[in-house]
Structure 1
Amino acid sequence: MKIILIALSTLVIVCAIPQQQQGQAQAPVEIVKQDSEVDVNGYNFEFETSDGTSRQEQAEYKNDTDQQGLLVRGSYKYVAPDGQNIAVSFVADKNGYQPTEQKDGQNQQPAQS
C-alpha cells in the first residue's frame, strides 16, 4: 500500500511541474490542499493544485465471496490544453477500471476496448 501511495505522490509531483510554451512564462503550480491516510484496510487521499487540478481516491480491502482485493473509488479533474474542463469519476474493482468522463458538463462513457 505504501509503495502505491508513494508512486502516486511521485506521479502527482511530476505532473504538477509546469511546462512552458514558446515565449510564454507560466506561474509555478503549487499544491494548495493535500491529505492522505493509509492503514491495513485501505487508504484515501486527495490533493488540489493552484491550477485547478484535483484528485481524490478511496480504497477499501475486500475479502469476501464476491471480491478479494481493493475496491477503489475516486475522481480527478483538470483543464485540457485545448481549454476544456475534464472531470472523471471512476470505480476500480474485480470488473476492472470503470471511468465516467465529463467534458464541460456532459457525461460520457469512454469507449470500451
Structure 2
Amino acid sequence: MQKIVLCAFALLALAAAVPQEQEQAYILKQESNVNPDGYNFEFETSDGISRQEQGTLKQISEDQQALEVQGTYKYTAPDGLTYVVTFIANEHGYQPQEHIEQPGQ
C-alpha cells in the first residue's frame, strides 16, 4: 500500500516537473494517513490542482484481498476549463468519470 502512495506522489512530482510558463505553484493543503487496512490523502495547490484519494483492503474471496481505491482530482487545463475526474479502481479495473466545471462553480 505504501508503494501505491509513493507511486502516486512520484507521478505528481513528475507532472509538476514539466516546464510551465506560469508562476510556480505552492501547496495550500496536504494531509495523509497510511495504516494496515488502507490509506487516504489529499492536497491542494495554489494553481487550482487538488486531489483526494482513499484506498481500502477489500475481501474479494475467502483467501484473496484487493485494494479498492476511490478518489477525485481537479485541474485547470491550458484551455481555461476546469476538469474534474472522479474514479474508482478495484478488481474490475480503473473506472473514471470526467466532467467540466462551468466558470463560477
- Give 1:97 deviation, angstroms: 0.7
Q: TM-score, normalised by structure 2?
A: 0.84
Q: What TM-score do you get using the length of structure 1 for normalisation?
A: 0.79
| 1:8-47 matches, cutoff 5 A | 8-17=8-17, 19-21=19-21, 26-47=22-43
Residue in 2 aligned with 1:62? 58
Is the alpha carbon distance of 1:20 and 1:95 closer, same or farther for their aligned partners in structure 2, counting shifts above 3 Å?
A: closer
What is the DSSP-based 3-state SS (H/G/I as helix, E as strand, rest coil) of the residue aligned with 1:82?
Answer: coil
Query: Does residue 83 of structure 2 align to residue 75 of structure 1?
Result: no
Q: Higher RCO, 1 or 2 (CA under 8 Å, sep at least 6)?
A: 2
Distance 1:68 1:96 in 2: 15
Counterpart contact for 1:87–1:103, Cα < 8 Å: yes
1:16 touches 1:29 (CA, 8 Å); kept in 2? no
2:99 equivalent to 1:89: no
| Alignment gaps of 5+ in structure 1 | 106-113
Query: 1:4 is matched with which residue?
Result: 4
> Of 48, 52, 59, which aligns to 1:52?
48
The 3-state SS of whatever aligns with 1:35 is strand
Go from structure 1 to structure 2 and tell me whether the alpha carbon gap of 1:18 and 1:51 turns closer, same or farther (over 3 Å shift).
farther
Alpha-carbon deviation of 1:16?
A: 2.6
What is the RMSD computed on CA atoms of the aligned residues? 1.9
Task: Kindly report structure 1 stretches of 4+ aligned residues shifted beyond 4 Å.
Answer: none
Percent identity of equivalent pairs:
48
Contact 1:76 1:89 in 2 (8 A): yes
Paired positions, count: 101
